[in-house]
Structure 1
Amino acid sequence: MSRVRGVLFDLYGTLIRWVVHPETHRAVFARHGLLREHAAWGDQWAVGPGDGELHLVHSVSREAYHAWELERLRIRTRAAGVSEERIEALVRDLYQVPDTAAFAAYQEVAEVLAELRRRDLVVAVCSNWGWELEQALARVGLADAFDVAVGSAQAGARKPHPLIYQVSLARCGLRASEALFVGDSWGPDVVGPRSLGIRAVHLCRDEPAVRGRAVPPGCPEVPRIADLRGLLPLL
């Protein structure tokens, strides 16, 4: 088996966490006097592309991707019964909801990433994220911590679609057998990478958001760690 030459990280829940949660869609609908329509809106977190979705045609440019995001919101607001004359103002506010969140890096992230760089490993982010992934890293002080940053918006596919891992490996200059993937979500961060021959480490932090989530049974081939310091002895 090839030695590990590079480590690919998921972003949210692995490297960063919320310190201010985003505004709820219910609050946005309420400001517009549309609480009845909000009852038909559904899950706030289901407005984006689904896990594993391929969307190359929408990822040809920043402008094309943002236009696709806005059109998805328009389609869903119509389905929720919002009248045409009120759609654009509502969509504008819904589109800005992610900007109301604030993130911070987990406490151990900077020291672990610095140690990986000291060991001369390629360090990368591979995340289901919007077009502004590099700006998000800059806001949490991680702009210079990675050799490569690949977000689904620009890659044209969301984990666990094989394409996003393939793009990440190519940009890192790594073969699958030389890479290790670290993340907190079993399907996108363990099953997906392993399907391409990338070794994986499952991160299960001891915090409320994780404790409330069903954790799949472990397997001998996938180490499970409680924070990123647990990664270092595995390399």
Structure 2
Amino acid sequence: MVLPAGIGAVVLDFYGTLVRMVEPLPPDHRGVFARRGLAAEGELWGDQWSVGPAEGEEHTAHSADETAYVTWERDRLRRRARSCGVPEEALDGLVEELDRAMKSLRLALFADVRESLAALRGRGLLVGVCSNWFWDLEDRVAEVGLGDAVDVVVGSARAGARKPHPLIYRAVLDRCGLPADRVLFVGDMWVPDVLGPLAAGMRAVHLRRPDRAVDGIAPPLPEGAARIAGLRELIEGDGAAGRGGSG
């Protein structure tokens, strides 16, 4: 694809766009419960990921600092565990282990990431990451080897809201120092990475990798959006007309 004229920054989602989960996978919550003699309560837990903040949730009151945010995360786990019948004396240890297990994700870059980000930067574009993630997003970006490959990192935990809430996109634009129409947002999730950025005034690119984790038929593209199967398409066929400058 040819990058839209005037673009000065490309901001990318993290999980599913830049990185994927690889083995060993994080511990299943049922094992955590069973080791503590709480197997029956663990069966009532349900989806271990659904306990987190919802898409579009605003939580600025809990994002003042890391301690406040982690306390809020663990309070959610504690309420869920209590509702499953976990006795009060077992809550603290269980919650601590569940919190650690949910964040024990082993991540690896997709093969096209380094080359594509380097090429974007080589064309004078600012490169950013924006993700619904835990407090440690900057650390995880560095851990996978992208610490010196991106200029801006905005995570929902610190921004105080999750995509597609407008607050997180405003934080991205503030960090980029560019008007919305000069920022291109790239991601694999339809609402958080396409419709949300478009509503904020940005351009958007829907990434549909052949080995994507998101199933289903791709929705029709609205005006201002494009679709690619890999990040190399951001740079292939792009010439001077697609360069937006560093602004």
Tell me the TM-score range normalised by the shorter chain: over 0.9
Q: Is the 8 A contact 2:16 2:213 kept in 1?
A: no
RMSD of equivalent CA atoms = 1.4
Which residue, 155, 158, 166 being the options, matches 1:154?
158
Q: In structure 2, how many angstroms separate the alpha carbons of the residues matched to 1:216 and 1:201?
A: 12
Considering Cα pairs closer than 8 Å and 6+ residues apart, tell me whether 1 or 2 has the greater RCO. 2
Distance (Å, rounded) in 2 between the aligned partners of 1:219 and 1:126? 21
Of the candidates 187, 190, 200, which is equivalent to residue 194 of structure 2?
Answer: 190
Structure 1: gaps of 5 or more residues: none
TM-score using structure 2 length: 0.91
Whether 2:44 is the aligned partner of 1:40: answer yes
1:59 aligns to what? Answer: 63
Partner of 1:6: 9
**1:162-201 equivalent positions in 2, closer than 5 A:** 162-201=166-205
Q: State the Cα distance separating 1:48 from its structure 2 match.
A: 1.0
Contact 1:137-1:143 within 8 A present in 2 as well: yes
Contact 1:23 1:101 in 2 (8 A): no
- TM-score normalized with structure 1 length: 0.95
**Aligned mates of 1:69, 1:215 — CA distance in 2:** 33
Separation in 2, partners of 1:104, 1:162: 29
The answer (yes or no) to whether the contact 2:129–2:152 under 8 Å persists in 1 is yes
Letter in 2 for 1:73: L
Deviation string for 1:4-63 (max 9, x for gaps)?
110010000000011122111112112112121112211111111110000000000111
Task: Please list every run of 5 or more consecutive structure 2 residues that lacks an aligned counterpart in the other structure.
Answer: 243-247
Specify the alignment match of 1:18 in structure 2.
Answer: 21
- Aligned partners of 2:16 and 2:212 also within 8 Å: no
Q: Quick one: percent identity of the two aligned structures? A: 53
Per-residue CA deviation, residues 104-141 of structure 1 (Å, 9 max, x unaligned), is 11111001000011011011001001111111011111
- Contact 1:155–1:167 (CA under 8 A) maintained in structure 2: yes
- The answer to whether 1:117 aligns with 2:121 is yes
1:99 shift after superposition = 4.1
CA distance in 1, matches of 2:74, 2:135: 13
Q: Does 2:142 align with 1:138? A: yes
Q: What amino acid sits opposite 1:104 in the alignment?
A: A
Decide which structure has greater helix share: 1
